[in-house]
A and B are shown apart, each in its own frame.
Chain A
Amino acid sequence: MQSVFPQVAKSALTYEVVAQCSTSKARAANMTLPHGLVETPMFMPVATQASLKGLTPEQLEDLGCKICLNNTYHLGLKPGKDVLDAIGGAHKLQSWPRNILTGIFQMVSLLKLATITEEGVRFLSPHDGTPMLLTPEHSIELQNSIGSDIIMQLDDVVHTLTTGPRVEEAMHRSIRWLDRCIAANKNPERQNLFAIIQGGLDLDLRRTCCIEMANRDTPGIAIGGLSGGEAKEQFCKVVSYCTDLLPRNKPIYVMGVGYAEDMLVSVALGVDLFDCVYPTRTARFGNAITAKGVLNLRNKCFATDYGPVEEDCTCPICTPKSNGGMGITRSLIHHLAAKETSGAHMLTLHNVHYQLNLMRAARQAIIRDEFPSFLKDFFATLHGGNKEKFPQWAVDALRTVNIDLLDDSR
């Protein structure tokens, strides 16, 4: 099918770089969306079904979260488009006064069940087994009903490790689908459509895709098809390659990235936005993310550990009772983990705070133009000062942007 476009998208956001790291590609920016300011770099917690895993919207807002994710596919099934239209969108559904970004869904995880044609994605509903067809138009229509501040195009995702002509086909199809998505967006004045760069690990395909999609002038651009099991070196290479090609006046979003190291290295490579279910999911397994690494609090050794989950952490659960916090101990989390849901909720509060706070700290470091030394401190703390433990991929990737983690001079 020959595309009758290209389309050019409208924008409902302003993106203003407030500081640029003088060494790397890291930048701090103010992105103003219909539901308020988002200060980048920013991690966006994932509230798949219009709820951030046990937290009230009030708790999430108190953590300083300005934008969270909902999932178009899940909301399309429950509560469904008709209900969303009747209620007036996802903000009203969940009483969330801040911004929402809607992803489509990880088609990768359902690929076995899906057939992708030029028309759209045909698959059997995992809920009741009925055949469904998701077209670019349908996905945008749903996201228009949801009313999210950032909406994502429907893209043709192939698994990261796929090689051969299928990758190229998917990349070109994603461009054609972007045009259909732009044309279908009924609310460009209040819903920002982001393009998703595809092309697998093939830099030439990524290049074509970046240029083509940049021509559509979408308000923001996501780098998709990554974090699906590829080597970290390749991930960094693709991200860095894309950020070099993409326009500098638009927010760049890497989808599905949530490990602290990955996010910080990506920030150095010029990325603004991240999302991942990792911090909330791992909380439900009893894992606390800390600056010194992940603690599995179900481990017996924490049963009699009466310190806070993380020393000097300013999250609601680690802050001592005397300072207005909850004063939760590792011992209590051990006592509750995987047994009472409120234990999971508490760790979710901590982990989301960790992610948001990490990005806030990175932003401050960029503004002070101390981002390289911030990164060195971060890796030193994470690995107990042992440079031999620094991951090689991170060292290599950061060298490409003039930061040498192993060099002590500042």
Chain B
Amino acid sequence: MASAPPSSVVPLPAFRILHSHGHTLARLGLFSPSAVSRGKSNVSVIPTPNFILPTSRGTIPHITPDNARKHVAVPAVFVCLEDFVDRNALKSPIAQSKRTIRDYISLLPPLSNPTHQIPIFLSARRSCPVPTSQPNSENTISIVTNDGFRQLPISDYFTLVSQLKDEETVIVAPVDLPLLIPPSNVLDARRASKPWKHIGGNRARKMVTRNEQWSVSTLKNFATQNAVIVPLLPGISVGEQAPYIDSILNVKESTRVSDGHSYEPVEHAPASETARDGSLTSSRTVDFGNLPSGFNDILRLNLGYQNGPHDVIAAVERGHDLVCGDWITTTTDAGIAFTFEIGGNSMMPNDKKVDIGISLWDVELYAADLSALSEECECYTCKNHHRAYVAHLLAAKEMLAWTLLQIHNIHTVNRFMSAIRDAIKHDKFIEIAADFRRKYIPQMEGVTPGGGPRVRGYQVKLAGSMTDKKLNESPFQNFSNMN
């Protein structure tokens, strides 16, 4: 679709809208992270709307790199530095390695397309960050590392990012948000949609100043080479953050003048709506309609927690181009295999609504069910295994259960996003979205009678964890205690 690059030095914009839907804000686009090779034929692009998958400590949860390149086609991954740094960020193993993040975590190109480098969104904090005990300061961002709360100097963040990035890395600017009230249970809170409280005057002004400083530095440091994501500020009205928005848009002008080049960094500076914590997901309601027109044709990334495909459809309707895919991992952990699809057979008026997936914890139901997890699915799991095996693996608490589920669930969401893009292209999005809502029950309870997989970093909740119930019961108990 990309026309051949002209001989001029003007790089193509990071994001191009290919088609807009008439009645919703939904739009079809292409996002290319690299400013340098943009427009070349072998460049890695993300067709949008799409999802990015948050990694945990640099790995796609449950998936080894060989399975990832063979069986899991993620459009892009989200990697956070707080998973990699310790006391002194610049002396942490990843800094001393002098490698790119892609090299260090062995994110390999798909076997089916060996020249395609999967884009990496590199951020300071997780997509659903754990609330910290200390606030950010003017020059540091508060992070949660493997050995506790740390303050990461913004300058260290820039130094690290300079080392870790490669052409296909998208740089996510650090974000200053007020201290978050620790939710009692992160997993529950992710599902809740408590609105942001309005942020008070002083804190709002501080947020505007800091984010302005941090976002503008990020743009100036990286936007000539890479796509940069800067946040819109949740909890503050568009009017209050107007100075911030202006300054982001102004970088465009200043860079144009000072560099003497025709780079348009703001084109590489897509707006992101950040819900920094699951409990605050109503930041989704940032209204792009009220923003200056400079924001219209740049990428919109939604880092909020999506609670299933219905939320994704809603985000696409609001004009979001990329959503976070942590809900896929949450579903996998819950032992649920997705069975939904969009744009398939229409509902009959009298049909009952169906679930978006099946809980394979139901051994009674699936113990001898030799059918694929989902009909006609072409993923590795469905082509080679069956419901009975995954149900057995869950019952036996074998780790392979979650590997097979994750492969299948990512594949299903890939198909889902692809069908959405197809529908937008053919002006059918409204119809299939309505069909989907008629057909499927919005939410699936994460029933995990036997508990999930071993609790890992991205599930850890620090606040109140001493008193809260454990996520998983102890698998063993004293023999004499049993009946």
B400 at the A interface (CB under 8 A):
yes
Within 8 A of B (CB), among A92-142: 92-95, 113, 124, 126, 128-129
Given contacts A83-B367, A129-B482, contact A303 B65 (CB under 8 A): no
Given A59-B66, A86-B368, A340-B59, also A306-B388 (CB < 8 A): no
Contact A304 B96 (CB under 8 A): yes
Please encode chain B, from 57 to 71, with 1 for each CB lying within 8 Å of some chain A CB and 0 for all others.
Answer: 111111111110000
Answer whether residue B113 sits at the interface, using C-beta atoms and an 8 A cutoff: no
For B457, the chain A residues whose CB sits under 8 A away are 339-340
Q: Does B97 lie within 8 Å of A51, measured CB to CB?
A: no
Counting CB contacts under 8 A, is A327 at the interface?
yes
A161 to B60, CA, bound (A): 47
Taking CB as reference atom, which chain A residue is nearest B454?
A341
Q: CB distance B400 to A55 under 8 Å?
A: yes
| Distance from B391 Cβ to chain A, minimum over Cβ atoms (Å) | 8
Q: Which chain A positions have C-beta within 8 A of B249? A: none
Checking A59, A126, A343 against B59 with a beta-carbon cut-off of 8 angstroms, the contacting residue is: A343
Whole-angstrom distance between the alpha carbons of A61 and B63 in the complex? 17
Q: Which chain B residues border A53 with CB–CB below 8 Å?
A: 398-400
* B461 interface contact, C-beta 8 A: no
Which residues from chain B contact A50 at a C-beta distance below 8 Å? 389, 392-393, 396, 398
Residues in B with CB closer than 8 Å to A92 are: 370
Contact at B392–A79, with CB atoms within 8 Å? yes
Answer whether residue B21 sits at the interface, using C-beta atoms and an 8 A cutoff. Answer: no
The answer, yes or no, to whether B56 is at the interface (CB within 8 Å) is: yes
Residue in contact with A78 in the complex, picked from B63, B385, B396, CB distance below 8 Å: B396
Is B289 located at the chain interface by the 8 A CB criterion? no
If A79-B367, A327-B106, A334-B93 touch, does A49 touch B67 (CB 8 Å cutoff)? no
- A51 touching B64, Cβ below 8 Å: no
Q: Give bound CA distance, A199 to B336, whole Å.
A: 49
Known: A332-B104, A342-B64. A51 touches B398 (CB 8 A): yes
Contact B66 A341 (CB under 8 A): no
| A201 close to B (CB within 8 Å) | no
Q: Which B residues are closer than 8 A to A by beta carbons?
A: 56-67, 84, 93-94, 96-97, 99, 103-106, 108, 146, 363, 367-368, 370, 380, 384-386, 388-389, 391-393, 395-396, 398-400, 402-404, 453-454, 456-457, 479, 482-483
Q: Once the chains bind, are A49 and B63 in contact (CB under 8 Å)?
A: no
Contact A326 B368 (CB under 8 A): no
| Closest residue on chain B to residue A349 by CB atoms | B64
Nearest residue, chain A, Cβ from B91:
A304
**Which residues of chain B come closer than 8 Å to A317, judged between CB atoms?**
64
Query: Lowest 6 CB-CB distances: which A-B pairs, in order?
Result: A86-B368, A54-B399, A49-B396, A129-B482, A51-B398, A51-B400
Alpha-carbon distance A52/B396, docked complex (angstroms) = 12
Do residues A326 and B65 form an inter-chain contact, with CB atoms below 8 A?
A: yes
What's the Cα separation between A31 and B478 when bound, in Å? 43
Q: In the complex, what distance in Å separates the CA atom of A49 from the CA atom of B402?
A: 15
Contacts of B370 in A (CB 8 A): 87, 92
Contact A74 B396, beta carbon cutoff 8 Å: yes
For residue A340, which residues in chain B have a CB less than 8 angstroms away from its CB? Answer: 56-57, 59, 61, 456-457
Contacts of B62 in A (CB 8 A): 341-342
> Residue A331 at the B interface, CB < 8 A?
yes
**Interface assignment of A402: CB less than 8 Å from any CB of chain B:** no
Is A346 at the interface (CB under 8 A from chain B)? yes
Query: Could you list some 24 contacts between A and B, CB below 8 A?
Result: A50-B393, A56-B380, A56-B400, A56-B403, A79-B388, A83-B368, A86-B367, A128-B483, A129-B482, A306-B97, A326-B108, A331-B93, A332-B58, A336-B58, A339-B57, A339-B456, A340-B61, A340-B457, A341-B62, A341-B399, A341-B454, A341-B456, A342-B63, A344-B399
Q: Is A408 an interface residue (CB 8 A)?
A: no
CB proximity to B under 8 Å, residues A53-79: 53-59, 74, 78-79
A335 pairs with B93, CB closer than 8 A = yes
Asked if B93 and A342 make an inter-chain contact with CB atoms under 8 angstroms apart, the answer reads: no
A107 to B: closest C-beta gap in Å: 16
Q: How long is the Cα–Cα vector from A124 to B482 in the complex, in angstroms?
A: 10
Query: Count of A residues near B, CB < 8 Å?
Result: 51
Chain A residues 298-342 with CB under 8 Å of chain B are: 303-304, 306, 316-317, 321, 326-329, 331-332, 334-336, 339-342
Check: A27 CB closer than 8 A to any chain B CB. no
Closest-CB distance, A81 to chain B (whole angstroms): 12
Q: Is A363 an interface residue when CB atoms closer than 8 A count as contact? A: no
Among B99, B105, B386, B453, the residue within 8 A (CB) of A341 is B453
- Cα A49 to Cα B84 in complex, Å, equals 34
A206 at the interface (CB under 8 A from B): no
Residues of A within 8 A of B (CB): 49-59, 74, 78-80, 83, 86-87, 92-95, 113, 124, 126, 128-129, 303-304, 306, 316-317, 321, 326-329, 331-332, 334-336, 339-346, 349
Shortest C-beta distance, B441 to chain A (Å), equals 29
- In the complex, the answer to whether A54 meets B400 with C-beta atoms within 8 Å is yes
* CB of A218 to closest CB in B, whole Å: 30
Q: Assess the A304–B64 pair: CB atoms within 8 A.
A: no
In angstroms, how far is the closest chain A Cβ from the Cβ of B245?
38
Q: Using known A-B contacts A95-B385, A336-B57, A342-B63, determine if residue A87 contacts B108 with beta carbons closer than 8 Å.
A: no
Residue of A nearest to B92 (CB): A303
* Shortest Cβ distance from B400 into A: residue: A51
Residues of A contacting B482 with CB < 8 Å? 128-129
Known: A93-B388, A304-B93, A332-B105. A87 touches B368 (CB 8 A): yes
Write the nearest CB–CB distance from A335 to chain B, whole angstroms: 6
Knowing that A79-B363, A79-B367, A326-B108 are A-B contacts, what are 20 other residue pairs whose CB atoms are under 8 Å apart, sorted by A's residue number? Answer: A50-B389, A51-B393, A51-B400, A53-B399, A54-B398, A54-B399, A56-B403, A59-B64, A79-B395, A303-B93, A306-B97, A316-B66, A326-B106, A329-B104, A331-B93, A335-B58, A335-B94, A339-B456, A344-B399, A345-B64
Q: Are B479 and A58 within 8 A (Cβ)?
A: no
B270: min CB distance to chain A, Å: 29
Closest chain-B Cβ to A348's Cβ sits at a distance in Å of 9
Q: Is the Cβ of A328 less than 8 Å from the Cβ of B392?
A: no
CA distance A128 to B482 in the complex (A): 7
Distance of A59 Cα from B63 Cα, bound (Å): 12
For B59, give the chain A residue with the smallest CB separation. Answer: A342
Chain B residues, Cβ within 8 Å of A321: 103, 106, 108
Residues of chain B lying within 8 A (CB to CB) of residue A331: 93, 97, 104
Query: Using Cβ atoms and an 8 Å threshold, which residues of chain A touch B384?
Result: 56-58, 95
Asked whether A335 lies within 8 Å of B396 as measured between CB atoms, the reply is: no
* Residues on B with beta carbons closer than 8 Å to the beta carbon of A128: 482-483
> Which of B99, B392, B393 gathers the greatest number of chain A CB atoms within 10 Å?
B392
Given the complex of chains A and B, what is the CA–CA distance between A298 and B56 in angstroms? Answer: 18
In the assembled complex, which residues on chain B have CB atoms less than 8 Å from the CB atom of A87?
368, 370, 388
For B399, the closest partner residue in chain A by CB is A54
Is A126 in contact with B479, judged by CB distance below 8 angstroms? yes
Contact of B392 among A56, A93, A344 (CB under 8 A): A93
A334: chain B residues at CB < 8 Å are 93
Known: A321-B106, A326-B108. A335 touches B84 (CB 8 A): yes
Enumerate chain A residues within 8 angstroms of B146, measured Cβ to Cβ. 339
**Cα of A123 to Cα of B183 in the assembled complex, Å:** 46
Contact partner, A83, options B66, B106, B388, B479, Cβ 8 Å = B388
In this complex, what residue of B is CB-closest to A127?
B482
Among B59, B108, B393, B395, contact of A336 (Cβ-Cβ < 8 Å):
B59
Which residues of B are found within 8 Å of A329, using beta-carbon distances? 97, 104
Q: Please name all residues of chain A whose beta carbon is closer than 8 Å to the beta carbon of B63 when the two chains form the complex.
A: 342
Residues of A within 8 A of B97 (CB): 304, 306, 329, 331
Most-contacted residue by chain B among A78, A128, A342 (CB, 10 A) = A342
- A95 and B59 CA atoms in complex are apart in Å by 26
Flag if B93 contacts A95 (CB, 8 Å). no
